[in-house]
Structure 1
Amino acid sequence: MKVAIVMGSDSDFPVVEKGLKILKEFGVDAEVRVISAHRTPDKAMEFGKNVEKRGIEVIIAAAGKAAHLGGVLAAETTLPVIGLPIKSSTMDGLDSLLSIVQMPKGIPVATVAINGAENAALLAIEMLSLKYDELKTKLKTYREDMAKEVEKKDREIQKRVSSL
């Protein structure tokens, strides 16, 4: 089980790191790279062409502004690509989101929320769970734990409200 997380810039790492932690929590290996669709286009295309040879099964492409990285990688491989739009100083990341989500017919890139690294990782895990049953079990437990946490917070709020 291996996911590639490719960032257009090292400044994307604080966002990407949140998803990387989830992948590690689930026992999914990750290869993390900085490759720019615009500044190193040959490297991006070569990475996309050869990514499967390294055992990668899903790609998360994190990029801001024009955010073409996911599309460039998707054009070079048939592996699933998840676009992670990064909030930039321009338009609060809406430009990144729209750049990723508006892929032409035939070259899809799944897209998560702006700075949604956690959901990018979870979506990659869901994709991998089609092949690896142990991830399905871990996902069920993860969701059950989330539900328990919400129920706990609900009880705490009810106590606070009743004490007013």
Structure 2
Amino acid sequence: MSCENNNPVVGIIMGSESDMPAMEPCMKQLDEFGIPYEVKVASAHRKPAEVHEWASTAHERGIRVIVAAAGKAAHLGGVVAAYTPNPVITVPMKTSDLGGLDSLLSMVQMPSGVPVACVAINGAKNAAILAVQILGTGCDTARQKIIDFKQGMAEA
């Protein structure tokens, strides 16, 4: 994997523009690591063809890891995972109805053969860190960013 370029290697998709503020910590963390990413807003329910097109071509665009954020039924991450060979990290969004528990339970109950990783409710920053850890399995530069990050936390 080429990790020394400016092309996006992380794809961030969310079901609604209203998820953007909760996902800003993900983007900020990726910026701090110097990891290029792309952002897409498309609902699995309202724009399924757009989600299919984005997810099924992600690896061709150089995306190596996908972060998918959604609330309520929270099917976006699973739908994306069905269309890509890339690892998918899901971020359950906090909801007004059930506080995000509905989103979390939807994400962790994926059928066999279509796995997703799942972080905490509104855990966007951890999703970014996990994405870079995954990238680090094939990229010494990304791995070193995580080593330095964890060392910085230990020294704080």
Indicate the TM-score class for this superposition, using the shorter chain for normalisation.
over 0.9
1:91 to 83, 93, 98: 98
> In the alignment, is residue 116 of structure 1 matched against residue 100 of structure 2?
no
Task: Compute the TM-score of the two structures, normalised by the length of structure 1.
Answer: 0.89
1:13 to 12, 20, 40: 20
For residues 115 and 138 of structure 2, the distance between their equivalents in structure 1, rounded to whole angstroms, comes to 21
For residues 14 and 58 of structure 1, the distance between their equivalents in structure 2, rounded to whole angstroms, comes to 21
Question: Which aligned pairs between 1:5-154 and structure 2 lie closer than 5 A?
Answer: 5-149=12-156
| Percent of aligned pairs with the same amino acid | 54
Deviation at 1:49, TM superposition (A): 1.2
CA RMSD of aligned residues (A): 0.8
Cα contact 2:59–2:85 (8 A) shared by 1: no
Deviation at 1:67, TM superposition (A): 0.4
For residues 115 and 54 of structure 2, the distance between their equivalents in structure 1, rounded to whole angstroms, comes to 18
- The answer to which structure has the higher helix fraction is 1
In structure 2, list runs of 5 or more residues that go unmatched. 4-8
Task: Compute the TM-score of the two structures, normalised by the length of structure 2.
Answer: 0.93
- Determine helix, strand or coil for the equivalent of 1:92: coil
For residues 134 and 52 of structure 1, the distance between their equivalents in structure 2, rounded to whole angstroms, comes to 20
After TM superposition, where is structure 1 displaced by more than 6 Å over at least 4 residues in a row? Answer: none
Pair member with larger Rg: 1
Per-residue CA distance 1:103-140 (angstroms, 9 max, x = gap)? 00000010000000011000000000011101111111
In structure 1, list runs of 5 or more residues that go unmatched. 150-164
Deviation at 1:45, TM superposition (A): 1.2
